[in-house]
Chains A and B, each alone.
Chain A
Amino acid sequence: MPIRFESVSFSYPGTQTGVRAIDLEVEDGELVALIGPSGSGKSTCLKLLAGFYRPDHGQINVDGHVVDTLSPERRRLGIVFQNYALFPHMSTRDNVAYPLKVRGVTRAERRLTADAMLNRVGLSGLGDRAPRTLSGGQQQRVALARALIFEPRALLLDEPLSALDAGLRVAMRDEIRRVQREAGIATIHVTHDQEEALSIADRVAVMSDGEIVQVGQPDEVYDRPKTRFVARFVGQANFWQGIVCQPNQVDTPIGRLSHNQEGVRPGDKVLVLVRPERLDLFYEDRQIPPPNYFKGHVTQDRFLGSTRRFDFAVASNVIRVETRDRAAPCAVAIPPDAVRLLPPDDISGINKGDIS
C-alpha cells in the first residue's frame, strides 16, 4: 500500500482551518482524485503528504513506512504544482534532469534519461528550449516529466490543469492519465473540477470543511452520494424534502414518488435526490402513465450545445431536466431507480441515519 493516511489531523498554526480525521488509502497504479471546494482541505492533505507540514495527530505511511518525520526531499514523491514552478534559468532538459543532478547522476546519463522522459510526455526535441518559451500545456508536461524522472514512490498533482484553457485541459487530463498508467504509480490528484475528477480517477474522495465526506468509484459517488453536499458537488441535482409514507413510497412537494431504495421505514424524514438526466420525457400524454408521472410545461430553457437544461413546472414546483432532445415535453416521469433517498438536511454528518 504505497500511500496511507491514518486518522490524520492538522490545523494551520493559530487557526481553526485544516483537516480532521483523514483516512485514505491509495494503491499502486491507482489514481485517487481529492475534490472539494476551495478551502476544503484537499491541498492541505497533499502538503502533509509532501512533508511541508507535519500532522498534529495520526500518521502518514508511504510504502509501509511512517514518513511524518522525514523532510520533503527525503520522501521521494513527485509533485506537480498548479503553476508548475519550472526553474526559469534552466533549459527544459535541465529542469527535467534536476532530480537526477541532485542525486549525483553523471551529466551524460542525465541527458539520456531526461531526453527519454521528454519523449515519453511528447516533448522530444524541445530539451534546449527555455521553459518560458513553451506553451502552457508543454510546461505542464515538463513539470510532469520532472516529477516522474526519479521514479518516485507516488505522484501528487495539485490542480495541475487549472491554468490551462478548457480544450487543452481535456486533452491534458487524458495525457496525465496515460503517463500515470505507464508509470504504474500511485497518484493523488487534487482538483476542484468534478468533471476532471470523475473522468480520470479510479476513485474519488470528496472533501468538505477539512473532512473526507465520501470515497468511492466515480459512478458510485455520482449515483449514490451520501449527502446533499456530495450530490451537488459532483453534478446537477433535484432535491426535495420528503417523508417516507409506505415502504416504497415517499411524499414530496411535487407529489408521491415510488422508489426502490431499501433501509428506510415509513415516517423517516429524507432528502430526495433525482439527477436531471435520469428523467424520461413524453411528448404526448400517456393514457396508462408510468410511475412518478408528472404533467407540466417548460419554463426556463437553456441550450448548452450537446444538451439542454430546462425547468419543468409541475403544479407549484419545478423539476430540473437535462436532455439531448430538442422538443419541449408535455410530461416527465422519474424512474423509481433514479430516486435516491439521502439523510435530511437537519441531520449533519454522514454516518448518522441508516441510509446508504
Chain B
Amino acid sequence: MRVVTGTYLLYLAAPMLLLFVGSFGASWTGTLLPSGFTTDWYIEVFTDPSFRRAFETSLIVVLWTCVLNTLIGLPLAYAIHTAARSGVKSAARLVSLMPIAVPELVLAFGFILVFSSDTLPFLGTTWLLVLAHVVLTLPYLLNVLLADMASLGLEDMERVAATLGASFRNRFVDIVLPGLQHSLLSGLITVAAISIGEFQLSNLVAGFLSRTYPVVLLQAFYGATGFACAATVILLVLAILEAAAGALTARAARTG
C-alpha cells in the first residue's frame, strides 16, 4: 500500500520537480537532468515583452473575473437559495452547472460563432475573455455559496431578523453578507485559481494582444527548454499560492 502511494506521489511530483530543476539548468539537451546552474531563464521570462504583457493580462482578467463573479454570483446564489419552489431551485442549479459539464471547446466555439458576427464583433477583446472566464468559473462560486447557505441555516436567521424589524436591505447587509464572507472568499480563490490556469477557452477566444499567461506559455515550449521550465514554474507557484490560500480560508471558515 505504502509503495503504491509512494510511487503515485512520485509520479505526480516528478514532472513538477523536473520543471523546477530544469528552470535553473544552464543547458538541457538529450540528458535526463540538465547541467550547470543559472537564473538567466527567469530574468529572460521577466524581461520578455510578450510574457510581461500576458502576465498583466492574466492578472487583469483574474481581477475582473472575481469582481464580476461576486456581483453576479452573490445575488444569484441568494435568489436560487430563496426560490420558493423546489422546481425553480433545481432548474437554476442545473443551468448554473452546465458550463462545468459542457466541454470548454464547445463553449469556445459558441463564443467564436456569436462574437465574430458583425452585430457583436467583440472576439479578441479582454472583456470577452473576462466574460468567458466568468461563465466558466461562476458555477464553482455558486456551488460553494449554495452549500454554505444551506449549512448556515440562513433562512431561520433571516426570518428571525425580519420579525425583529430588519428590512430586506438590513438583512442582506447584516446577516447574509457577514454569514457568507468566508465561503465567498474561498469561492473566489477557487475562481482565481481556475482563471489563472485556464488554457483551452482562453487560447481560442483571446486576441493576439490579450493573450493570457498560459496561452503565451504554449509558445515557450517551442523554444529553449530552460525558458519554458522557468515560465511554467511561475504559473505553478501562482497556482500553489492560490491553493494554499484557499485551504487556509476554508479552514478559517470552519473554525471561525
Question: Which A residues are closer than 8 A to B by beta carbons?
Answer: 50-52, 71-79, 81, 83, 85, 87-89, 98-99, 101-103, 146-147, 150
Contacts and interface: CB of A to CB of B under 8 A. Distances in A.
B178 A89 contact: yes
Contacts of A76: 165
B159 interface: yes
B118 interface: no
Nearest to A75: B163
Interface in B137-194: 152-153, 156-157, 159-167, 170, 174-175, 178-179
B166 A79 contact: no
A73 B162 contact: yes
B178 A78 contact: no
B160 A79 contact: yes
**8 shortest interchain CB distances as A-B pairs:** A72-B162, A85-B156, A99-B164, A85-B160, A89-B178, A79-B163, A102-B166, A73-B162
Contacts of B162: 51, 71-73
A84 to B, nearest CB: 8
Contacts of A147: 163-164
Contacts of A85: 153, 156-157, 159-160
B159 to A, nearest CB: 6
Contacts of B178: 87, 89
A98 to B, nearest CB: 6
Contacts, number: 65
B161 to A, nearest CB: 7
**B contact face: mostly helix, strand, loop, or mixed:** helix
A81 B165 contact: no
B167 to A, nearest CB: 6
Contact of A52 (B159, B161, B166, B167): B159
Contacts of B170: 102
Contact of A50 (B156, B157, B163, B166): B163
A147 to B, nearest CB: 8
Interface residues of B, number: 18
12 contacts: A52-B159, A76-B165, A79-B159, A81-B159, A85-B153, A88-B152, A98-B166, A99-B164, A99-B165, A102-B167, A146-B160, A146-B164
Nearest to B157: A85
Contacts of B152: 88
Nearest to B177: A89
A71 B152 CA distance: 24
A286 B144 CA distance: 77
Given A50-B159, A51-B163, A78-B163, 10 more contacts: A50-B163, A72-B162, A73-B167, A74-B165, A77-B163, A88-B152, A98-B161, A101-B174, A102-B167, A102-B174
Q: Identify the interface centre among B161, B163, B179: most chain A CB within 10 Å of its CB.
A: B163
Contacts of A150: 164-165
A166 to B, nearest CB: 24
B134 to A, nearest CB: 28
Contacts of A74: 165
Contacts of A78: 163-164
B156 A83 contact: yes
B174 A98 contact: yes
Contacts of B153: 83, 85
A301 B175 CA distance: 54
Contact of A73 (B163, B174, B179): B163
Contacts of A87: 157, 161, 174-175, 178
Contact of B163 (A72, A83, A101, A103): A72
A51 B159 CA distance: 10
A321 B161 CA distance: 49
Contact of A81 (B156, B166, B174, B175): B156
Contacts of B161: 87, 98, 102
Nearest to B170: A102
Contacts of A52: 159
A90 to B, nearest CB: 8
